[in-house]
Amino acid sequence: MDTTYIWVSIGALALIVIIYFVTKKKRLQAHAQEQAQAQKQTPPTPTLATMGAALVVLGIVLDIGNRGVNYVFIGVGVLLSVIDLVRIQKRK
């Protein structure tokens, strides 16, 4: 690899570190404000949607050797997500 690319990478890293430390105080203040607002109003966690997304990803990534099992994981994941969506809409 050419040394020019190495120096450009080091310069970019130095620039990122400088920007990180310059904006650190502002980011911490914004985070504190977000935390205060989040404590006032916390929505319920969508556990079925999370489980459904995990099953869809599992069905896509996992290669058991039988495509039917993968499709079952995807189908159950989508079904759980839809059930969670319907439950949330009924509450509103």
Is the per-residue pLDDT at 8 higher than 90? no
The answer to whether 52 touches 88, Cβ cutoff 8 Å, is no
Q: What is the pLDDT of residues 34-81, one digit of tens each?
A: 777 766 665 666 688 889 999 999 888 887 777 888 889 899 999 998
What total number of domains does the chain contain?
A: 2
Residues 54 and 81 in one domain: yes
Paired tokens of 85: 């969506």
Q: Which residue has the higher pLDDT, 29 or 54?
A: 54
Residues 35 and 55 in one domain: no
Residues 59 and 23 in one domain: no
Residue 52, number of CB atoms within 10 A of its CB: 22
Residues 60 and 36 in one domain: no
Residue 59, number of CB atoms within 10 A of its CB: 20
Residue span of the structural domain in which 64 resides: 47-91
Residues 30 and 53 in one domain: no
Of the chain, the end-to-end C-alpha distance in Å amounts to 59
Q: Which residue has the higher pLDDT, 88 or 71?
A: 71
Residues 34 and 52 in one domain: no
Residues 35 and 52 in one domain: no
Phi and psi of 87, rounded to 5°? -60, -40
- pTM for the complete prediction? 0.50
